Amino acid sequence: MVRVLGIDHLAIRVGNLKKSKAFYDKVLGFMGFELEWEFGKTCGWNNGRTMYWITEADTRGKKHKHRAGDVGFHHYAFEFARPKDVDDLYAFLKEEDVTVVDPPADYPDYGEGYRAVYFLDPDGLKLEGMYFLEKRKKLARKK
């Protein structure tokens, strides 16, 4: 049997590389990622555990903007170490004038201690910053 250690990377296509690179450089930089790779129309950030890649869509792809509800990408969640990190990210997003879909809130239906903020990238792709106490407790019991 194969054992997955985690998600190594996510790669998304963007409509405007320059605009998206500036966005992700600020947001991912705030979350501890560093721009590690840049070649052609591709950029990759790394935090030592996960890579986040963007690459510019081709001409045909740019004609079909992302629409929530389509098959495919729904959202990507960045897991934080503390619930306060959710609120800190929200304050940063507001300073940077990023579109916030849902401000920080607790989601007890998702499990004990689930707190999240949801926001959009320049192409309307939904992103999440979250903390999940129940998951942390389960992982601690496994150790």
At 3 the pLDDT is 84
Six token digits for residue 36 = 């590690």
Kindly state the average pLDDT of the residues 37-42. 94
Reported as a single tens digit per residue, the pLDDT across 52-74 is 999 999 999 999 888 888 888 89
Q: What is the mean pLDDT of the chain?
A: 93
CA dihedral (14, 44, 79, 3) positive or negative: positive
CATH number at residue 128: 3.10.180.10
At 120 the pLDDT is 97
Taking the C-alpha atoms of residue 97 and residue 76, their distance in angstroms, rounded to an integer, is 20
Distance of CA 103 to the CA centre of its chain: 15
How many folded domains does the chain comprise?
2
Residue pair 131/82 in contact by the 8 Å Cβ criterion? yes
Are residues 88 and 47 part of one domain?
A: no
Are residues 132 and 84 part of one domain?
A: yes
At 127 the pLDDT is 97
Taking the C-alpha atoms of residue 25 and residue 19, their distance in angstroms, rounded to an integer, is 10
- Confidence band of 27 (pLDDT split at 50, 70, 90): very high
Last residue within a domain, chosen from 60, 83, 101: 60
Kindly state the average pLDDT of the residues 117-126. 97
